[in-house]
A and B are shown apart, each in its own frame.
Chain A
């Protein structure tokens, strides 16, 4: 059969690449060797959403004693657009400091990843999961006075 020209693929190419890669998906295995030496490096996690509501997301952040996010892993039951956004955000979070807060708001992600407006609700679940993880990290590291930007 002829290969059809798809005028409206379910995922635009940048999102499709993220969805197919999901390089940050999975549970943390162990502390990486490089991170073992900073005294307070630890994994924290944050979760939000429920499967029966269509999206359940769990972030794992490996955070150094200085508040830097060394590594991100995630587990998610979600649609392809959300999985792609989570993958994209995971990449943006690595190397970022907790003091800098999240890399934008759900509205920013909606615009940045060019998602339709009805995806804002699921993005709030992503934000919730990240906020829980960041909050836990701040508590563990004794940085509670530092509010995310």
Chain B
């Protein structure tokens, strides 16, 4: 059986074999298996030393100081820690937050939880290309605003928000800024100083590291205001108790080092592949590019197809592994709330393909994908009344 061509790197990436090799050194008795908190013996102290080395590598991914990095179970937990932690930590100063409807559910659901706790949310609307106007964010700030959460790059559209401009507006008003950078870290060079965000969520499995580990960057000025979500130990400077999974963290660090060494070349190649794919698709009538072509993650392509039924389109593309514009967490697929928020009809949202290329994508993959999409669109349109 020929495996489907993997075009869903935005959902997850395979662990790079070099990363897996590193992780294997942190599991058995022959390796570094100690509990980093066991300072009473050499196994633990050795593990602690490796933990801090890994922390430094992950911090370097975004130009941060190692002591600002808190390891979590992934970006979802990092988002929760940032939003719930800051909102609750600063509740005495105000109970207002600002975010966007196109955020990841880890942000949306955390915000909804806060609304139930009596916080107020202002939702800033994106434009048709998915970008938010920093002036609109600034206009939504109030004297009681404590936190703004705007993702760096959208997970469905790939659009890259102007975080530095938003950060400047927040800083001027003394408001903390959180950004979910799960999609962008690894695809874009990042520097927290230039970005200006106070809290940044990261995920290992989006950059060829393992699932189950992520990190939250917490700037020094934000640190006093973050309340932990879990209780039970002092690990991660009190912000994330629990034994740190060193094999996961070491994998994250190895993946981060590969990004440092190869990320730029990966990004260039992915951008070229996405361009090659688009060049083969754009002549199809009724095709809509979603997002902003000038502010898009490399290797990312969201296209909506008029005149075809979304589920049929996806079912006809069995040789491709990609995402659609539907959330299939119910019996009947619901159109993506992100695509609906930028103005797509329910039908067009469902007839949307998100193609995300990565380190192991090839020109042959892209050519096969283009041919399959063209074939299926033509076939289904010919069937339609």
Q: Chain A: residues with CB nearer than 8 A to chain B? A: 1-4, 10-11, 16, 19-20, 22, 25-26, 47, 51-52, 54, 56-58, 75-80, 83, 116, 118
Contact of B315 among A2, A11, A75, A76 (CB under 8 A): A11
Please count the residue pairs between chain A and chain B whose beta carbons lie under 8 angstroms apart in the complex.
63
Q: List residues 297-320 of chain B with CB under 8 A from any CB of chain A.
A: 308-309, 311-312, 314-316, 318
Give the interface residue-count category, chain B.
20 to 34
4 shortest interchain CB distances as A-B pairs: A80-B315, A3-B3, A75-B385, A79-B311
Q: Are B382 and A26 in contact (CB under 8 A)?
A: yes
Whether A118 contacts B331 by the Cβ 8 Å rule is: yes
Which residue of B312, B314, B331 is within 8 Å of A83 (Cβ)?
B312
Do A118 and B383 contact each other (CB < 8 Å), given the known contacts A3-B3, A77-B309? no
Do residues B385 and A77 form an inter-chain contact, with CB atoms below 8 A?
yes
Known: A54-B309, A78-B309. 9 other contacts (CB 8 A): A2-B3, A11-B315, A16-B318, A19-B316, A20-B316, A47-B385, A52-B347, A80-B316, A83-B383
Contact of B231 with A by CB under 8 A: no
Report A-chain residues with C-beta under 8 Å of the C-beta of B360.
Answer: 1
Q: Cα distance A54–B332 when bound, in Å?
A: 11
* A3 near B2: Cβ-Cβ < 8 Å: yes
Would A1 and B14 count as touching, CB distance under 8 A?
Answer: yes
Q: Could you say which residues of chain B place their CB within 8 Å of the CB of A58?
A: 385
- Known interface pairs A10-B314, A77-B309, A80-B312; A22-B383 also in contact (CB < 8 Å): yes
Contacts of B318 in A (CB 8 A): 16
Would A116 and B3 count as touching, CB distance under 8 A? no
CA distance A40 to B3 in the complex (A): 52
* Residue B384 interfacial (CB < 8 Å): yes
Q: Is B6 an interface residue (CB 8 A)?
A: yes
